[in-house]
């Protein structure tokens, strides 16, 4: 733990480590209120790491304080994290408006596209639109974002297009999106042997272009751990 915060002043390291450790693991309780005042005294990487720890413990307001400075400096990982915090923080006024604004600023990013799809699907802040939801979902899935691949598979399954549901479900499953496993099995159950053989061949010929490389991005990887 100490190594992760290398570069901080000794007293600040001890303070933050004790606060976070006790809040997460149940040692004698120490209030987290006030920790956000240190957000401008750490590096972008350190602030992001602390933000993720606070995010995981559902201390959303404190987490936002650590993501905001880096987000304002153009750090995409922090901008996406801030948008995601607003999406899930139902205690925050206009949380979906804040999430929409920040995801829209990164609308070329697969993670942001996935959440734009959710906002339109449920009608959070924006008018509910299944067409716009599908538009953003397809863009995210085209960039091989596993959750989007899974949701697109669900879309095709509900349409009765089991070949496409099976295909997109396999992309998601093989990108380690565990929820896709049962969907692949269900879709396969609706296919004839010939249909499944064709879908399997299509998968083999196209799986490389649908492989998710985002797991190698430490910022996105850390963010995914919070929400999936």
Does a structural domain hold residue 183?
Answer: yes
Q: Are 126 and 100 in contact (CB under 8 A)?
A: yes
Q: 160: left (phi > 0), else alpha (psi -120 to 50), else beta?
A: left
- Percent of the chain's residues with pLDDT above 70: 75
Average pLDDT over residues 100-108: 95
Residue 196 lies in a domain: yes
In a domain, 224, yes or no: no
Region of 124 (left: φ > 0; alpha: ψ -120 to 50; beta: rest) is beta
What predicted TM-score, i.e. pTM, was given to this entire model?
0.78
Structural domain count, the chain: 1
pLDDT in tens, 145-180: 999 999 999 999 999 999 999 999 999 999 999 999
Q: Decide if 44 contacts 78 (C-beta within 8 A).
A: yes
Asked if residue 67 is part of any domain, the answer here is no
Within a domain: 193: yes
Which domain does 193 fall in, by range? 146-210
In this structure, is residue 200 part of a structural domain?
Answer: yes
Which ranges of 10-72 would DSSP assign to H, the alpha helix?
A: 10-25, 44-56, 60-72
Q: Are the C-beta atoms of residues 24 and 53 closer than 8 Å to each other? A: yes
Residue 176 lies in a domain: yes
Residue 16: inside a domain, yes or no? no
Q: Which of 77, 9, 76 is nearest to 49 (CA)?
A: 77
pLDDT digits (tens, 9 = 90+) for 33-92: 444 444 455 677 788 888 888 888 888 888 888 888 888 888 888 899 999 999 998 888
């Amino acid at each position: 733990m100490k190594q992760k915060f290398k570069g901080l002043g000794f007293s600040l390291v001890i303070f933050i480590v004790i606060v976070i450790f006790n809040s997460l693991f149940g040692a004698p309780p120490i209030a987290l209120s006030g920790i956000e005042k240190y957000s401008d005294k750490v590096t972008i990487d350190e602030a992001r790491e602390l933000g993720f720890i606070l995010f995981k413990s559902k201390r959303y307001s404190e987490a936002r304080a650590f993501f905001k400075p880096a987000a304002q400096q153009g750090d995409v990982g922090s901008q996406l994290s801030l948008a995601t915090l607003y999406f899930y923080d139902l205690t925050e006024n206009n949380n979906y408006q804040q999430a929409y604004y920040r995801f829209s600023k990164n609308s070329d990013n697969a993670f942001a596209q996935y959440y734009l799809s959710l906002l339109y699907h449920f009608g959070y802040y924006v008018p509910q639109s299944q067409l716009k939801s599908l538009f953003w979902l397809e863009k995210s899935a085209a960039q091989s974002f596993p959750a989007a691949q899974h949701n697109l598979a669900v879309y095709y399954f509900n349409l009765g297009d089991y070949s496409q549901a099976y295909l997109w479900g396999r992309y998601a499953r093989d990108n380690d999106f565990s929820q896709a496993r049962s969907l692949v099995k269900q879709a396969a159950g609706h296919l004839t042997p010939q249909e499944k053989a064709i879908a399997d061949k299509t998968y083999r010929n196209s799986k490389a272009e649908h492989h998710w490389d985002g797991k190698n991005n430490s910022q996105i990887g850390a963010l995914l751990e919070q929400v999936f």
